[in-house]
Structure 1
Amino acid sequence: MLSAVVDTGYNSTRLCIYQVFPNNTFRIIGSTKSFLRLGEDVKEGYPIPEGKVVEAEKLFKEFKKVIEKKKVGEVKLLGTSAFRYASNGPEVAKRLSDVLGVEMRVLSGEEEGVFSFLGTVNSLPVDSGVVFDLGGGSLEIVYFSSREVREVYHFRLGALRLSKELKD
């Protein structure tokens, strides 16, 4: 069975298609990434600009073509910091959900950290440590031991967000 994840956030949007096996293991079939920068001009409480939303809708239409061509059975649509910070985040999430026909799940900062942790421990032979996930609009830090989350910290700063603020 093929599954897909569309992860869209402050800086970039990625489509990954996976082949999922009966034992719940998987392998990546393909991946594409676009630097939409939905959050580029978004200060907390301000909207994602309409031009960026239209650009995202066009990209999602292209993603939908790929998903349909590959006959993907399951699609997960995730939104991160751009949707958490923007005043129109829920409306933009709905518009993009409508394009793909899948409801977007907007992750909290803590959930985003847990997903980063899962990606790390399921791809590396590590037992304990710290995961840093620096995105375009947020930073998540996850402390773990015995391959289990112990603490998650979420900060409202990211590479694109900081570079913008340093220019202002």
Structure 2
Amino acid sequence: LHNEYRMPRIGKDLRPNKKISEKKINLLFSILNEYKTIVNSYNCEKVLVTATNAFRLASNSKEISNRIKDNINFDVDIISGDVEAEYAYLGALSGIKTAGSTLIIDIGGGSTELITGNRSEILFKRSYPLGSVIATEKYLKHSPPFSQEMEKLEFKLEEIFKQFSEKSIPDKVIAIAGTPTTLACMVKGLKEFEEAKIDDSDLNAVDLLNLISDIKILSPEQIKKNYGNVLNGREDIILGGGIILKKIMRIVDVDKVIVSSRGIRHGAIIKYLADNF
């Protein structure tokens, strides 16, 4: 019926047990108030608000959740990494016809979820505490990044995803959410996001490697200038996200992924309906 997207980056510069800043909280409230207007226009009877890694890390997440309840009357569900992975899996499969084993890759800002399974069950799910924002802030500190910084990030990714290399190669790999959809748009030369051209499209390893080679020598401002509004506030973190996706594809030994714009928000709805109706 309606699909809306904002990127407040509330996890930017956030470390475990630190507070989400008042500036980010105000931005979050502004977005949620916009969403409430949209929700009311559809006369929705139930609103699902899911919070992920930033709220898991922050020391003031409970306080923010209470303020959201008091001021906007939304109940915030701070989900675990495992639940996030489950929602990502359900959401991804809802939009793509697939048979056999499937790997879902969900690269967020603060974490990356890997989920394998088939249509009937999830066989493996794990949330890794390294996403595009953390990769950028912790490793790619210069703009453009130094080669040593990229090497350190590659080494860390190899370390945390190493255990996954022991899993069997899936029949199909689906990459969901903003990082892969943005990368796919950049590869295709789209200046604005066009869901019809991106959803269920292929992103191959050669094109991804070439794109990373092109943008790793650019500043975020240059990336935005060259690739347009499709970045939507991701120009400073898209390189980190691309490197994460490249590493996972190499470890899993696949030469392409299917890109999907569906993900956690779709999975949350599917899970709620399955549990309550």
What range describes the TM-score normalised by the shorter chain of this pair?
0.7 to 0.9
Counterpart pick for 1:161 among 134, 144, 149: 134
1:133–1:140: 8 Å Cα contact kept in structure 2? yes
Task: Tell me if 1:124 matches 2:96.
Answer: yes
TM-score (ref. length: structure 1):
0.77
Contact 1:143 1:152 in 2 (8 A): yes
Say if 1:117 and 1:69 are closer, same or farther in 2 by CA, change over 3 A: same
Amino acid at match of 2:89: F
Per-residue CA distance 1:141-168 (angstroms, 9 max, x = gap): 1111353101111111111121111217
After the TM superposition, which segments of 4 or more aligned residues of structure 1 sit over 6 Å from their partners?
none
Report which of the two has the higher share of strand.
1
What per-residue deviation string (whole Å, max 9, x for no partner) do you get for residues 53-95 of structure 1? 0111122112112211222222111111110011111211222
Tell me which of 56, 77, 87 is aligned to 2:59.
87
Gapped regions of structure 1 (runs ≥ 5): 1-28
- Amino acid in structure 1 at the alignment position of 2:54: A
SS in 2 for 1:30: coil
Structure 2 counterpart SS, 1:157:
coil
* SS of corresponding position for 1:48: coil
Letter of the aligned partner of 2:49 in structure 1?
L
Q: Does 1:76 align with 2:61?
A: no
- Out of 16, 21, 27, the residue aligned to residue 55 of structure 1 is 27
Give the drift of 1:37: 0.6
Size of the alignment, in residue pairs? 140
CA RMSD across the alignment: 1.5
Residues 82 and 137, structure 1, Cα contact 8 Å, conserved in 2: yes
TM normalised by structure 2 equals 0.48
5+ residue gaps, structure 2, are 143-277
